Amino acid sequence: MSKFILKYGRDERVKFISHLDFVRCFHRAIRRSKLNFEFSQGFNPHPVMTIAQPLPVGVTSECDYMKVGLVTGLDNDQVRDEINRCLPPGFRIYAAYRLKAKEIDLTKINRAEYIVEIECEAPGDINALMERSELTVPKKTKKGISDSDIRPHIFEAEDMGFKDGIQTIGLEVSCGSSYNLKPETVVAAMEKYCEGFVPSFTAVHRKRMLIDGNEVM
């Protein structure tokens, strides 16, 4: 039995699949494969599997991670290829890494990078936005919706251009159990603070997840 870290992603074809449906899909893929799950102990055994920062519905990714227990003698590349063989189109395992100890702790993920495409008539001024010392917008928490200053949780924001009514921005923001900032909340701040900016549609892609500025693997 071994613990693996899997780096995976999903594209436009499956971005509206919920987190629970993805978990069920992954379970079925393992059952179809040459691999076997490691199961927990006790009266209700279940596959040993932990997903770091589940994707919201509608978001694509190339950098999500899970820790999973597998019973296999296959090497890292073989595990990756075997799972990909059994996953449906739209999901992909980019890398598999057999843990030698607790050298990768997914609970320490604290930042994420996103590419955000925003449909709008006129682009928002990202530079002016980042010059502000405070960006207070409604944010959903476990206790409900309350005003929150999200400025300390935006580490980088880059205007990547405006073409054919689409403004593209790059973001590096807080991500994790301590504070999780969704790109859509940043867009809400742009709508509030950027004069003439009225978004009508937003597409979000998660590009990297980081632990203290370093990519997980």
- Mean pLDDT per 10-residue run, the chain (217 residues)? 92 96 96 91 86 94 96 95 97 95 88 97 96 91 83 97 97 93 96 95 96 89
For strands 199-211 and 59-71, give the pairing.
parallel
Query: Can you read off the two tokens belonging to residue 204?
Result: 């979000």
Question: Would you state the pLDDT for residue 44?
Answer: 86
Provide the H-helix boundaries in the chain: 19-32, 76-86, 126-131, 183-193
CA 185 – CA 140 distance, rounded (Å): 9
Question: Would you state the pLDDT for residue 45?
Answer: 85
Residue linked to tokens 């589940």: 54
Q: What is the pLDDT of residues 90-104, one digit of tens each?
A: 999 999 999 987 788
Are the CB atoms for 115 and 99 separated by under 8 Å?
no
Are the CB atoms for 200 and 190 separated by under 8 Å?
no
CA 52 – CA 14 distance, rounded (Å): 19
Global pTM exceeds 0.85: yes
Question: Would you state the pLDDT for residue 5?
Answer: 95
Q: What is the pLDDT of residues 20-49, one digit of tens each?
A: 999 999 999 999 999 999 988 888 888 889
